[in-house]
Each structure stands twice: as structure tokens, then as C-alpha cells.
Amino acid sequence: MKISREDVLRVAELAHLELTTEEIEMYRGQLDEILAYVDKLQRLDVVNVEPMAQVLFPSAGDQPELRDDTVVPCDISGTVLAQAPDAAKPFFRVPRVIER
Amino acid sequence: MSATSTWTITGVRDALRAKEISARELTKDFFARIENRNRELNAFLALSLERAYAQADRIDAMIAKGNALPPLAGVPIAVKDVISTRDITTTCGSKILESYNPPYDATAIERLERAGAVILGKTNCDEFAMGSSNENSAYGPVRNPVALDRVPGGSSGGSAAAVAAGLAVAALGTDTGGSIRQPGACCGIQGMMPTYGRVSRYGLIAFASSLDRIGPLTQNVTDASTVMSVIAGHDTNDSTSAAVPVPDYAAELEKPVQGLRIGVPEDYFGEGLDQEVREKVLAGIALLEKLGCGRIPLQMPHTDYAIATYYIVATAEASSNLARYDGVRYGLRIPGATLGEMYRTTRERGFGPEVKRRIMLGTYVLSAGYYDAYYLRAQKVRSLIARDFADAFQKVDVIITPTAPTPAFRLGEKTADPLQMYLADIYTVTGSLAGVPGISVPCGKTNVGLPVGMQILAPHFGESRVLQVARAFEKAGGFEI
């Protein structure tokens, strides 16, 4: 067994997911099967292999091209806040996080 | 024009120029088709009537004035619901974004409309593009128009079904591990994945940022090249978009393929491949040989590790990207007594089972103590898979494989076993990891009439080559529409 019930609960906590009792058992079994499958990667020798984090092209050079850091108008706070479940301009409102 | 006639982009252009139909009439006709078929297919989640008619009227005004028409003038196009459209609800197939109206358009949308396209609406997909059957949508599955008891493939299932059923002339999909090519194959149409960075991801709601790509689903190869020429190109709003000039795809399209070297990786024709799919794809390769292509057997030794690599890299990126859905700034919020409780209950109720599964897996492989063994190792194996492709393209011009191991499967057939579902992507995830472009082209049907797709892959920025081979195949194989 690759993953225990405690592992599932720890991961759910990290991921901010509140799982039901059925979900905990279901995901434990399924993640266990998937992790057993991906274990095949352990068979490969990767000692001198660089990790590939992004697709990079030789033509792009070693350094990505950076744009000039210029200020442009971005007056969208009203539109953005209009999508918020709870807002008091210019803020998003959430349950109290700091006790006074 | 009948309700079942198949429109192509070229056909629309000719009909509008000849004034056989107006852009408004054509738009109306497509909304009527959607009205007729959507209850059955569930391909569209939202329609953008006002915006579509406004654009159609602009095109009609241009025609009336005798102005030159842009390349997609009046062409009705559907858009996968993970691509942002200003003021048009964009759900990603998820309850967590049920009433989300993006404040801006994706670059691809902006470019389509500038080229005259009429955006009909948003198409159904697996939640956050996670799935291979469209059964992970919070808004119900899509049915395959070719066989209603079958899945359309995924995750761009709604886009593929819409085009295959003639409810849109073309559609935008997104491909992270096969999500354009596999539904294209399942529905019997063209599905093209451009090179990573070729099409801007600005406004594409992220699943796995190092893999996500936007591309077209179309009736034929010429249409794919037309859409590609519009959406491709550098965009300062996407730092991963490539500053590489876009060639004239149409100019390369009809070039003969004689002398091109086709690589056929033996690992892709082994265990797990459906017999009929194998026969059709091998017949497709034989047809290209008749046109003068050379056939070169390839060994791509890390193919067997691709699914494992993909599901670690993609879920790790997804778990990070989807952390933004917390009920604070947009989308669903389930109130809680504390901030933490609000996060957890919002995410528990807002996300479906597959999305949670991938967030869990991705969080696990990134967590302390497991990062090196899983995530870092997968990134290294990704290098080896990319090297397989680089080595292969020293010897060949294109690589041809099946798109999917089986034709479209039945609804419900694989939902109980997530790992079996992941294996539906076995031939598509390799190209995704390597960042190369590819297309799935129809290459015949099985005995019971299910479409089979053949995948053509080329080196980075080799879209012209992909399209050229696809076009030659379509013409010679009698698959022309």
C-alpha cells in the first residue's frame, strides 16, 4: 500500500479540500492504484538528466525576451470586483482572520 | 442549403461573396441547428446570440460596401468553455465557475473576431479540461453525434461534437494531453494541436501551464490551416508565447509529399491497440507511401513512461493552478465561520470528483518528502521523452501513430476506473510532453461505423509540415469535405 488514510487526510488539508468519509476511502484506493502505476518511473536511470520544467526553443536563446517595464492604464477594478462573491470597494471581503 | 449540409470555411467565404446567403442568415441557420440538436448532444453550454448577430451585421455591412473580407468573415465558430469570453459565462465545465463572466477576451478570441468570425457560444467539456470522455463535466456528458451511445472523446468533447454535427463550422479546443486530437478522432474530424507557445494562452483558464495549448477542430485540413493562420503568433500577454514568425500555412498546403520521411514508432502499435484501429492507421501510412513518402521504423524507448510522467506533471501543475478557486475573488463561495472553513467547503462543493482526484494527486507529488521521488523525477523523464522526439526528427520529417488506442467508447464504460481512462491518452501525451505540434485526421471507419483517427506529429513549429501531410492524405484517401 502506497498511501494510507492519514496520507489522504494530510493531502486534503494541504489542498484545502473537505472530503466526505466515502471520498476519503475512494481516493485512498484510487490514488494507491495510480501511485503504484507511476512507480514505473523509478526503473529509469535519471542521474545525469536535467529536469524539463518548460518547453524551451533553441531559437529563443538562453534568456527569455523581457518586455520593457512600462506603466499602462489598467482601470478594471470595478469589473473585477463585480465578479466577487462579497466585495466592499476596493476590497474583497472574507471572514475575519485577525482577532483583536 | 439544407439543414444537414456541411459548411466549410471555404464554403462560407464563397457563399457570402456570391451573396447566396448573408452572414446574419447563416448565423440564424446555425442557431436553428443548435436549437434542434443540442438537447440530444449537450454540446453547447451557452450561446452568445447578441454578440454573434452584431458581428454578422458588421460582416454584412462590409459585403454591402464591397470591402475586402477578412479570412474568417461570417464563419460561425464555437469555443470551448475554458477560454475566456468577455461577459459570456465561462464555466470550465465546473460548478465552481457556474456564473463567472470574464472581464476580458482571450487573445485567440480577439484574433478570431478581428478576422471576422462569428462566435456562436461556449461548448461543453470535461471540468477544467480534465478527462478523455467529456463525462467529467458538471453540466452532463456530451453525446457523440456519430453514435449517440458513445462518448465524443475529451476534454474538448463539446467542440468536437458541435463541428461533427454541423452545429459550428469550426471550433476552438484546448489540448493538454490529447484533448483536441482524441475527440477529433472520436468524432471523425480534424483536431490540431499547435506547437507549445505557437498560440497565446492569454485568457485560457489554466489546467497545466507547461502543457496547455489552444487549437482548432475543423471539417477539413484547409480549414484547420485557415484558423491556425489567424490564431497563431506572438502575444506580449503570454510570456510563454513564442516570438517565432508565422509562415503562410496555405502556401505549403498543396505541396506534394513525395520524398518526405515518415517515422513509424513500433512502440505505438503494440499491446492495447484495437485491431481495426491498427489496420486503418497502417493503411493510412501505406497510402502515404504510395504518394512517395518513405517509411522508417522508429524506436522511441521512453514511450512506455509517458502516461506516468504526464499524470504527475499535469496534476502537479493543476493542483497549483486550481488553488486560486477559494471563494474569495470570483466564482462560488460557500460561507464559513472562518476563512479556512470557507475555502474547504467552497472547494468541496464546487469541484467534481475527477478535479479533486487530480488536485489530491498533484498535491501529493509536490508535498515534502515526495517531490524528488515523483515530481522532479517526472520532469527528468519528460526530458528523456522530448529527447526521443528530437532524435527521431533527426531521421524523419513526420511521425505517424494512431491517435487513440480504441474508437469512441460507450458512455459509462470507463468512469469507474480512472487509470483505465488515463490510458486513453497513451498515444497523445508524448507529443504534449515534448511540446511538438500534431493533428488527428480521420482515416476511415470501423465495421460498425466508428471513426478512426491517425496522428501526424512534426518538430517544433512544423505546423506547415503537419498540415501538408494531412492535406495530401485527406485528398488521396477520399476524406475530402
B462 min Cα distance to partner chain A (Å): 13
CA atoms within a 13 Å half-sphere pointing along the CA-CB vector of B306 = 27
The answer to whether the CB of B235 falls within 8 A of the CB of B200 is yes
Q: How many Cβ atoms from other residues are within 10 Å of residue B252's Cβ?
A: 16
Chain segment B273-315, per-residue pLDDT in tens: 999 999 999 999 999 999 999 999 999 999 999 999 999 999 9
Q: Is B5 on the interface with A (CB under 8 A)?
A: no
Predicted pLDDT of residue B479: 82
Predicted pLDDT of residue B1: 47
Residues of B in contact with A45 (CB under 8 A): none
In sign, the C-alpha dihedral spanning B368, B370, B373, B376 is negative
Chain segment B418-457, per-residue pLDDT in tens: 888 899 899 999 999 999 999 999 999 999 999 999 999 9
Task: Measure Cα distances from B283 to B73, B91, B221, B320, B397 in Å.
Answer: 37, 41, 19, 43, 19
Which of the following is catalytic: B137, B155, B241, B440? Answer: B155
Query: What's the pLDDT band for A65 if we cut at 50, 70, 90?
Result: low
Predicted pLDDT of residue A62: 52
**Separation between Cα atoms, residue B313 and residue B305, nearest integer Å:** 12
Predicted pLDDT of residue A58: 56
Which one of A9, A16, A28, A99 makes the best mutation probe of the B interface by having the most chain B beta carbons within 10 Å? Answer: A16
Grid coordinates representing B143 are 453525446
ipTM metric: 0.92
Give B337: exposed, middle or buried? Use CB within 10 Å, 0-12, 13-18, 19+. exposed
**Separation between Cα atoms, residue B215 and residue B204, nearest integer Å:** 11
| A to B CB pairs, distance under 8 Å | 163
Is residue A99 over pLDDT 80?
Answer: no
Q: Is B334 on the interface with A (CB under 8 A)?
A: no
Which of the following is catalytic: B156, B159, B179, B229? Answer: B179
Task: Measure Cα distances from B129 to B153, B170, B178, B402 in Å.
Answer: 11, 19, 10, 22
**Separation between Cα atoms, residue B274 and residue B106, nearest integer Å:** 38
What is the per-residue burial (b if ≥16 Cβ within 10 Å, else e) of B378-397? Answer: bbbbbbbbbbbbeebbeebb
B263 min Cα distance to partner chain A (Å): 22
Predicted pLDDT of residue A63: 56
Q: Quick check: is B80 catalytic?
A: yes
The answer to whether the CB of A16 falls within 8 A of the CB of B346 is no
Q: Quick check: is B155 catalytic?
A: yes
Residues of A in contact with B243 (CB under 8 A): 60, 65
Between the two ends of chain B, the Cα-to-Cα distance in Å is 15
**Separation between Cα atoms, residue B458 and residue B467, nearest integer Å:** 10
Residues of A in contact with B344 (CB under 8 A): 16-18
Predicted pLDDT of residue B4: 55
Query: Pick from B90, B191, B179, B171: which is nearest to B136 by CA?
Result: B179
Residues of chain B predicted below pLDDT 50: 1-2
Predicted pLDDT of residue A59: 52
SS3 assignment, position B20: coil
Predicted pLDDT of residue B481: 75
Predicted pLDDT of residue B462: 98
